[in-house]
Chain A
Amino acid sequence: DGGITQSPKYLFRKEGQNVTLSCEQNLNHDAMYWYRQDPGQGLRLIYYSQIVNDFQKGDIAEGYSVSREKKESFPLTVTSAQKNPTAFYLCASSGPGLETQYFGPGTRLLVL
């Protein structure tokens, strides 16, 4: 089945620790995105990538880093510089028309 997978479903971070969230897609999409969602709020864009080896900051990139070494993969690292990392993280991808974005199931990050 084609789609987007995110792992893990739940992730716990200790103070001062970097953690990496995985996002993989087999839709052959060029563009991929990371969003953050806080309780009762809409989604906010963290980073996006239009093509392999290229990515751009979104609205709330501080404290996060990404890489795009392969078309299928767009991992997000939540660094220790992100002081309020507890949130629901969503990865998405879109195809040639850049119109419709398809989302993964999300990763919920909690701070211990």
Chain B
Amino acid sequence: DAKTTQPPSMDCAEGRAANLPCNHSTISGNEYVYWYRQIHSQGPQYIIHGLKNNETNEMASLIITEDRKSSTLILPHATLRDTAVYYCIVHNAGGTSYGKLTFGQGTILTVHP
């Protein structure tokens, strides 16, 4: 699976949009971009994933650049409960790495009142 690069930490004001970047310049054509988050002392929570088109669900939006070398997770109206570590993962579910997710250090997002 391709390696990802994320900033170690970010801050955001409550009610504002949080934009979390991820660089995955070595991504291959059949690899998806996944985002998970982990609130302190809990299991990771799936947020969203995409291949090349932008995606939106009830939690967030995922913007993938046309060359697929980077992406941005957008939390449109951040709340204090969104404070967590956010992991960007590139993964080919049907490949030889069967289901294995490679979690890096992630980005610690702190939402301030």
Q: How far is the CA of A56 from the CA of B49 in the complex (A)?
A: 26
> Would you list the 4 A-B pairs with minimal beta carbon distance, nearest first?
A103-B43, A42-B103, A98-B93, A43-B103
Q: Helix, strand, loop or mixed for chain B's interface?
A: loop
* A106 in contact with B106 (CB, 8 Å): no
Knowing A41-B105, A104-B43, A106-B41, the reply to whether A99 touches B32 (Cβ < 8 A) is yes
Interface residues of chain A, those whose CB is within 8 Å of chain B, are: 4, 31, 33, 35, 41-45, 48, 50, 56, 58, 88, 90, 92, 94, 97-106, 108
Of A42, A58, A100, the residue contacting B105 (CB under 8 A) is A42
B85-113 CB contacts (< 8 Å) to partner A? 87, 93-94, 98-106
Chain B residues near A45 (CB-CB < 8 A): 100-101
Q: How far is the CA of A99 from the CA of B95 in the complex (A)?
A: 11
Q: Helix, strand, loop or mixed for chain A's interface?
A: strand
Q: How many residues of B contact A (CB 8 A)?
A: 21
Of A4, A42, A99, A105, the residue contacting B87 (CB under 8 A) is A42
B82–chain A nearest beta-carbon distance, Å: 18
26 contacts between A and B (CB under 8 A): A4-B43, A33-B100, A42-B87, A42-B103, A42-B105, A43-B44, A43-B101, A45-B100, A48-B100, A56-B98, A58-B100, A88-B41, A90-B44, A97-B93, A98-B98, A99-B34, A99-B49, A99-B93, A100-B46, A100-B49, A101-B99, A103-B43, A103-B45, A104-B43, A106-B42, A108-B41
